[in-house]
Amino acid sequence: MRRNDCYQPYEAEIVEKMQETATVFTLRLRFTDSAHQKQFCFCPGKFNMLYLYGVGEVAISIISDPQNRETFDHTIRAVGRVTKAIAQLRVGDKIGVRGAYGNGWPLEEAVGKNVTIISGGIGCAPVVSVIRYITLRREDYGHLKVFQGIKHSRDMIFKDYFLRWNQIPNTEVIVAADKSETGWTWSTGRIVDALKQAELNPEDNIVMMCGPEMMMKRVIEELLRRNFQDNQIYLSMERNMECGVGHCGHCQLAEYFICKDGPIFSYAQLKHIFNVPGF
Which of 105/257 has CB closer to another protein? 257
Per-residue interface string for the shown chain with another protein, residues 13-52, x marking contact by CB under 8 A = --------------------------------------x-
Binding to another protein in span 175-214, by CB under 8 A: none
35, 54, 199, 225: which one binds another protein (CB under 8 A)? 54
Which of 65/93 has CB closer to another protein? 93
Q: How many residues bind another protein (CB under 8 A)?
A: 44
Rg (Cα) of the chain, in Å, rounded? 18
Q: Please, is 126 exposed, middle or buried when counting C-beta atoms within 10 Å of its C-beta (0-12, 13-18, 19+)?
A: buried
Stretch that binds another protein, among 39-47, 184-192, 193-201, 245-253 (CB under 8 A): 245-253
| Cβ atoms 26, 75 nearer than 8 A | yes
Q: Does 6 bind another protein (CB under 8 A)?
A: yes
Which of 5/199 has CB closer to another protein? 5
Which of 18/79 has CB closer to another protein? 79
Which of 202/246 has CB closer to another protein? 246
Question: Contacts by 60-65 with C-beta closer than 8 Å and gap 24+?
Answer: 61/125, 61/126, 61/129, 61/236, 61/263, 62/99, 62/100, 62/129, 63/26, 63/125, 63/126, 63/128, 63/129, 63/132, 64/28, 64/129, 64/132, 65/129, 65/132, 65/133, 65/136
Report which of 30, 9, 41 is spatially closest to residue 73, judged by C-alpha positions. Answer: 30
Q: Does 265 bind another protein (CB under 8 A)?
A: no
Stretch that binds another protein, among 103-111, 175-183, 217-225, 236-244 (CB under 8 A): 236-244
| Residue 273 CB, nearest approach to another protein (Å) | 8
Q: Does 260 bind another protein (CB under 8 A)?
A: yes
43, 111, 224, 248: which one binds another protein (CB under 8 A)? 248
Q: Does 4 bind another protein (CB under 8 A)?
A: yes
| Cβ atoms 241, 258 nearer than 8 A | yes
Q: What gap in Å lies between CA 38 and CA 49, rounded to an integer?
A: 18
- Give residue 250's Cα distance to chain centre: 20
3-state secondary structure (DSSP) of residue 90? coil
What is the length of the chain?
279
Residues at the site binding another protein, with contacts judged by CB under 8 A: 1-2, 4-11, 51, 53-57, 79-80, 93-96, 238-240, 242-243, 245-250, 252, 254-255, 257, 260, 272-273, 276-279
